[in-house]
């Protein structure tokens, strides 16, 4: 009953969020008064947060009921990563001029083709990038791809505060976070998506005195 209630509540929340967000965006495009624009930006920002939370709750419900479905297609992983980064760069430039996104594609110049759900992969990238940005005030966030025999590996390395050693063993569990900016659901959902593709995801703090942490995930290379 609890799971059914959460699922219904999340669906019902999603219905009014979209018109609130859409109408606020329409108003912001027409508004000229700076004070009113700032107030609308607060509405838009919080509507997006509520929208993200609602989508996360629905994903959790699907994962726990084992009904998370994937629409797989053959994808060039480097193209997917590059597209996700371009979208994120705009957000970074607006909010944090001290932070840079650096992308290094696989050094062997092999095309990394995977059978994957494009939208779900974007979701994993966005969760990892959002997490890196949240804990990194300045420096670089370096994203790289690499061919590992039968696997494609994606690495997201930041120069932030690193992962609390107490949290690290449970990092990909639900509601594990020391940040007031998140729910602790994103990494759990990312883990479930990657594993549904037959891959693995893990994280560690950087070595040799380097600040920050590095997240890795793998996906099987396409056999076709």
140 neighbors 172 (Cβ within 8 angstroms): no
CA dist., res. 200 & res. 202, Å (int): 7
- Confidence class of residue 122 from pLDDT cuts 50, 70 and 90? very high
Whether 15 has a pLDDT exceeding 70, the answer reads: yes
Coil, strand or helix at 149: coil
Q: pLDDT at position 1, please?
A: 63
| Percent of the chain surpassing pLDDT 70 | 87
Averaged pLDDT for residues 3-7 = 66
Residue holding tokens 């890196």? 132
Q: Which residues pair with 144 in a beta bridge?
A: 104, 155
Fold of 73-220: Heat Shock Protein 90 (3.30.565)
Q: Which of 48-62, 85-99, 156-170 has the highest mean pLDDT?
A: 156-170
What integer is the mean pLDDT of 42-62?
A: 83
3: confidence class by pLDDT, cuts 50, 70, 90: low
Q: What are the residue ranges spanned by the domains of the chain?
A: 2-64, 73-220
pLDDT at position 156 is 94
- Selection from 94, 220, 84, 207 nearest residue 157 by Cα: 207
Place of tokens 């966005």: 126
Residues 70-119: pLDDT tens digits? 899 999 998 888 888 887 777 777 666 677 888 887 655 568 999 999 99
Contact 133, 149 (CB under 8 A): no
In sequence order, what are the residues at sequence separation of 6 or more whose Cβ sits closer than 8 angstroms to the Cβ of residue 195? Answer: 201
How confident is the model at residue 107, as a pLDDT? 59
Interval 140-157 mean pLDDT? 91
Task: Name residues whose C-beta falls within 8 Å of residue 196's C-beta, 6 or more positions apart in sequence.
Answer: 68, 70, 120
Q: What is the pLDDT of residue 96?
A: 66
Residue predicted with more confidence, 60 or 127 = 127
pLDDT greater than 60 at residue 222: yes
What is the per-residue pLDDT for 130? Answer: 85
Alpha carbons 172 and 192: distance in angstroms, whole number: 9
Average predicted confidence (pLDDT) for the chain: 84
Q: How confident is the model at residue 65 (pLDDT cuts 50, 70, 90)?
A: confident
Using an 8 Å Cβ cutoff, are 41 and 21 in contact?
no
Asked whether the whole model's pTM tops 0.85, one would answer no
């Amino acid at each position: 009953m609890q799971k059914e209630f959460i699922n219904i509540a999340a669906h019902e929340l999603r219905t009014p969020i979209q018109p609130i967000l859409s109408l606020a965006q329409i108003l912001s495009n027409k508004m000229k008064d700076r004070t009113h624009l700032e107030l609308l930006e607060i509405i838009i920002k919080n509507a997006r947060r509520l929208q993200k939370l609602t989508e996360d709750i629905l994903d959790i419900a699907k994962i726990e009921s084992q009904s998370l479905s994937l629409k797989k297609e053959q994808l060039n992983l480097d193209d997917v990563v590059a597209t996700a980064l371009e979208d994120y760069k705009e957000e970074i430039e607006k909010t944090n001029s001290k932070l840079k996104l650096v992308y290094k594609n696989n050094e062997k110049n092999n095309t990394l083709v995977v059978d994957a759900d494009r939208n779900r992969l974007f979701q994993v990238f966005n969760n990892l990038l959002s997490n890196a940005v949240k804990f990194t005030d300045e420096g670089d966030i370096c994203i790289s791809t690499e061919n590992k025999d039968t696997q494609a590996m994606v690495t997201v390395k930041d120069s932030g505060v690193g992962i609390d050693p107490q949290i690290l063993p449970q990092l990909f569990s639900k509601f594990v976070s020391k940040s007031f900016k998140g729910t602790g659901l994103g990494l759990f959902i990312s883990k479930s998506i990657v594993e549904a593709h037959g891959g693995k995801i893990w994280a560690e703090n950087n070595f040799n005195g380097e600040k920050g942490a590095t997240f890795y995930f793998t996906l099987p290379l396409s056999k076709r």
